[in-house]
Structure 1
């Protein structure tokens, strides 16, 4: 069972969503966060509170990616149709969390395989292939956090991630120290390998008021023909996302009302 939340659904009641940095609204209709947590792992919010927080922060699409489990799946399936009617797309994923690297799996419908604490290269490759066999997307999360805050040993290089078939690197991670939020090295790498490996932003939100960076700095933009999870996955497979980034953190307008 998930832990009870210290927050209330009313924390975001009647809150006007913040205005994110300017972008071409004719070119993009999806504002996406691939990476956040709920009280089904170490997050502080319920699924509904997580969704309401995202709406307040300017997103209209999100993937909930709890650590090493998908126990949230049934509850997400119960509410996502109601949110679709409101123009909000909710999908389920998992953050495959080890002490070598963290990978987000998007578009997987179940995950029953034990997650190893310190996986060998062969196990990581096998796992990436398993996700792709399900039609899913693999993202390497927060490389600067993994290297400089968690201080993981033997984290795969960006070149190795590309060789193994990783689809995306998380370029912005809001639950990192300010100096590690924007991953310039990965941005340059993905730009060099355009259409081979893409870029995503992630809030990595566990608590709405305790993001290590001080707030939200990134939003991922896509253009969908249909507002469905299938259309999102098809668009993600093109690896042609647009990244919005702000050096200044954006604060939650629900919990930081003036």
Structure 2
């Protein structure tokens, strides 16, 4: 019998499935061993003593050669070999972070979940050993923590009945320090061990599920997750803002930015042409009602800073009651010549008369040179001298034209940000008369210059009005009226102007209705970076003054930049507020909602998988003895 046991049993090829309680540990049983009184009276198999069992020594099994006399007979029962792949089936988990041990809990990577098979094996098959007695005693000792309706016992480290210290220190220890230390222990304990360590927590912390809060492995992960990671996100936000500010500023300063209003698409004014004669009377009552010319003495097209083409400009004037117009673009005659060509076409013949002109635009004055056919460039510069202005006026007279000074009130208005007028060093009316000018524009848009009107009357100068129209959604306010006896040609109109036989109609409210351009679809494609760039331009104020329209460019006033530090400070403050709100929302969503949800799902998934694995026990032949030996050695180390 002894030799047969040492030589090892003959393993069959049958595989049987047994309940987990019967196959908690690997075992070998033969019919011959059942006849031995020693084997019958021996205690059940214990993995602690597995190393002393001769059957599970690999050298006894692999190196032995069974003799013919030792072979089992046909009447012997087939050996039944049971093996559980879970090493945690009958193991006893003992961890340094807890004060009590749990019988029947897994010591593997799946965590300390309850094991029905392990509990059954420990209760029915294993004898009471010293190790088991110590574990049981420790478990009973741990029950004192939860005694008394979930409150800590008097000997518990979380007991509120401390016998030393003042009352304030007791309250501080009971309600602040102790729960905080218990929460710190909860956070530093792995999620799989929190259920087993629940008896060591404060009652308030004990109510927290094991998956509620994340696991922090020491102080460095806490600092990394609460300090370093938010700082990294803030640094990333700063980099993104810097790139966004620089890129949008460059984009907003590029040329050819599309406008929201598509003025090119507005080419029709679908209303009955306005008849100002029907509701307005001449300002000079002696002029009477005998006039046939309603003239606009000042307008602009796309050849300078206007938003209408030459043809659209003529349509606008016809719709607002004009039958003659002076097209005077800044420092060029090309706009007037282009409009004259359109007016001479068959479509507009007899509807409107165009007189070419050029508005000399400098930093000293704006002056219309009317009835010329070339660009006079003697004084096209920022600061022309008096002699250059005289030379320009003389050249206009040589070409059969007139020199009219435009919008003196607007020119003398204080420029925003400066204590200076828009047109610095503007010549006086007396000096302009001495230079040879022919008249003044006494109405520009909705502004009526009564001072220039009286000066004209006192000095017998030409009186003229102008809309100074740039955009098609503008109203008309004034009409210069003349009488050509039905012969509305350029020469006849110029003759009436030179003869000073003019008057005007003035409507301070402007004409109705108005035409509004449609929205530009291209604008919305580039609006976000453009508007962001314009928003970031508020960080400084760039004072430039009036544009000079000179060939060299530039402005009429000293340019300077003022940094708005207070606005920058408030912007940074609001960015910080937004960042803190983002971190708070992230803490609520990720830390309090999404994080616990993910940890709970993982926790339950591992628990379910462990329960399924513990319920599956494989028995039969083909046992890997080396694997079983290593399994038993690991279980022995855990015990």
Q: 2:219 aligned with 1:219, yes or no?
A: no
State whether residues 65 and 92 of structure 1, in contact with CA within 8 Å, keep that contact through their aligned partners in structure 2: yes
State whether residues 332 and 358 of structure 2, in contact with CA within 8 Å, keep that contact through their aligned partners in structure 1: yes
| Distance (whole Å) between structure 1 residues aligned to residue 274 and residue 264 of structure 2 | 20
State whether residues 337 and 373 of structure 2, in contact with CA within 8 Å, keep that contact through their aligned partners in structure 1: no
Match of 1:242 among 494, 503, 508: 503
Aligned pair in 2 of structure 1 residues 191, 73: CA closer, same or farther (>3 Å)?
closer
Which residues of 2 match residues 61-72 of structure 1 at below 5 A? 61-72=324-335
What residue in structure 1 maps to residue 464 of structure 2?
A: 200
Residue 89 of structure 1: how far off its partner (Å): 0.6
CA-to-aligned-CA distance 1:199-242 (integer Å, 9 cap, x gap): 11110011122x5xxx3221100011422111111111011211
Q: Secondary structure at the match of 2:355?
A: strand
Q: 2:435 aligned with 1:164, yes or no?
A: yes
Match of 2:391 among 106, 121, 126: 126
Which residues of 2 match residues 59-208 of structure 1 at below 5 A? 59-82=322-345, 85-111=349-375, 113=377, 115-149=380-414, 151=421, 152-174=423-445, 181-194=447-460, 197-208=461-472
Aligned pair in 2 of structure 1 residues 252, 123: CA closer, same or farther (>3 Å)?
farther
| Distance (whole Å) between structure 2 residues aligned to residue 237 and residue 184 of structure 1 | 21
- Which stretch has the larger CA shift, 199-208 or 23-32? 23-32
CA RMSD, Structure 1 to Structure 2 (Å): 2.4
Match of 1:17 among 273, 278, 294: 273
| Distance (whole Å) between structure 2 residues aligned to residue 183 and residue 173 of structure 1 | 8
Q: Secondary structure at the match of 2:334?
A: coil
| Distance (whole Å) between structure 2 residues aligned to residue 134 and residue 27 of structure 1 | 30
Aligned pair in 2 of structure 1 residues 71, 222: CA closer, same or farther (>3 Å)?
same
State whether residues 168 and 239 of structure 1, in contact with CA within 8 Å, keep that contact through their aligned partners in structure 2: no
Residue 78 of structure 1: how far off its partner (Å): 2.9
Residue 51 of structure 1: how far off its partner (Å): 0.6
Match of 1:50 among 297, 313, 319: 313
- Relative to its length, the structure with more strand (as a share) is 1
Match of 1:6 among 263, 287, 302: 263
Q: Secondary structure at the match of 1:122?
A: helix
Larger RCO (CA within 8 A; separation ≥ 6) = 1
Residue 35 of structure 1: how far off its partner (Å): 0.6
- Which stretch has the larger CA shift, 113-122 or 83-92? 83-92
Residue 74 of structure 1: how far off its partner (Å): 4.9
Q: Secondary structure at the match of 1:250?
A: coil
State whether residues 53 and 252 of structure 1, in contact with CA within 8 Å, keep that contact through their aligned partners in structure 2: no
TM-score, structure 2 normalization: 0.36
Residue 126 of structure 1: how far off its partner (Å): 0.9
CA-to-aligned-CA distance 1:140-185 (integer Å, 9 cap, x gap): 00000000055211111111222222111001111xxx6xx11111
| Distance (whole Å) between structure 2 residues aligned to residue 187 and residue 73 of structure 1 | 27
| Distance (whole Å) between structure 2 residues aligned to residue 244 and residue 154 of structure 1 | 32
Residue 193 of structure 1: how far off its partner (Å): 1.7
Residue 72 of structure 1: how far off its partner (Å): 2.6
- Relative to its length, the structure with more helix (as a share) is 2
| Distance (whole Å) between structure 1 residues aligned to residue 265 and residue 463 of structure 2 | 33
What residue in structure 1 maps to residue 492 of structure 2?
A: 231
| Distance (whole Å) between structure 1 residues aligned to residue 432 and residue 414 of structure 2 | 20
| Greater Rg by CA | 2
Q: Secondary structure at the match of 1:90?
A: strand
| Distance (whole Å) between structure 1 residues aligned to residue 340 and residue 479 of structure 2 | 24
The gaps in structure 1 that reach 5 residues or longer are: none
Residue 23 of structure 1: how far off its partner (Å): 3.9
| Distance (whole Å) between structure 1 residues aligned to residue 362 and residue 292 of structure 2 | 34
State whether residues 35 and 202 of structure 1, in contact with CA within 8 Å, keep that contact through their aligned partners in structure 2: yes
Aligned pair in 2 of structure 1 residues 157, 216: CA closer, same or farther (>3 Å)?
same
| Distance (whole Å) between structure 2 residues aligned to residue 80 and residue 45 of structure 1 | 15
| Distance (whole Å) between structure 2 residues aligned to residue 221 and residue 252 of structure 1 | 22
What residue in structure 2 maps to residue 30 of structure 1?
A: 293
Aligned pair in 2 of structure 1 residues 99, 141: CA closer, same or farther (>3 Å)?
same
Residue 81 of structure 1: how far off its partner (Å): 1.6
| Distance (whole Å) between structure 2 residues aligned to residue 104 and residue 48 of structure 1 | 21
| Distance (whole Å) between structure 2 residues aligned to residue 50 and residue 149 of structure 1 | 30
Residue 19 of structure 1: how far off its partner (Å): 2.9
